[in-house]
Structure 1
Amino acid sequence: MKTISKEELRELYYKDFPLWAEINYELLKEKLYELVDWENLLEEIEDMARSDLKACISQLARILEHMYKWDNFRDLAGGKTAGMGWIKSIENARNEILDAFDLSPSLRTKLPNELNIAWRSARRRLYTWLIQNNHRVENFSIPQECPYTYEEAMTRDLRKEIEQ
Structure 2
Amino acid sequence: MKDLYQTDFYSWTQQQAELIRSGRIAELDLHNILEEIEGMGRSDYRALQSRLTVLLMHLLKWQYQPDKRHTGHSWESTLKEQRKQIRRLLRANPGLKSKLPEMLPLAYGDAVEDAHDETGIPASTFPNQCPWRFEEVVDADFKP
Question: What TM-score do you get using the length of structure 1 for normalisation?
Answer: 0.70
In structure 2, what residue type is equivalent to 1:121?
D
Distance across 2 between alignment mates of 1:33 and 1:120: 45
Distance across 2 between alignment mates of 1:35 and 1:144: 52
The answer as to 2:82 corresponding to 1:93 is: yes
- Point out where structure 2 has 5 or more consecutive residues left out of the alignment: none
In structure 1, what residue type is equivalent to 2:12?
W
State the shift of 1:28 in Å: 2.0
Distance across 2 between alignment mates of 1:123 and 1:40: 37
How many residues are aligned here? 142
What's 2:142 paired with? 157
Select the structure of larger CA radius of gyration: 1
RMSD, aligned CA: 2.6
In structure 2, what residue type is equivalent to 1:154?
V
What's 2:108 paired with? 119
What's 1:28 paired with? 20
Rate the CA distance shift 1:144–1:24 in 2: closer, same or farther, 3 A: farther
Distance across 2 between alignment mates of 1:143 and 1:150: 16
Higher relative contact order structure (alpha carbons within 8 Å, sequence separation ≥ 6):
2
Alignment of 1:10-159 (within 5 A): 10-75=2-67, 77=68, 81-82=70-71, 84-130=73-119, 135=120, 139-141=122-124, 142-155=126-139, 157-158=142-143
Question: What TM-score do you get using the length of structure 2 for normalisation?
Answer: 0.78
Residue 138 of structure 2 aligns to a residue whose secondary structure is helix
What's 1:5 paired with? none
Distance across 1 between alignment mates of 2:142 and 2:11: 49
Distance across 1 between alignment mates of 2:71 and 2:27: 60
Q: Is the 8 A contact 1:70 1:83 kept in 2?
A: no
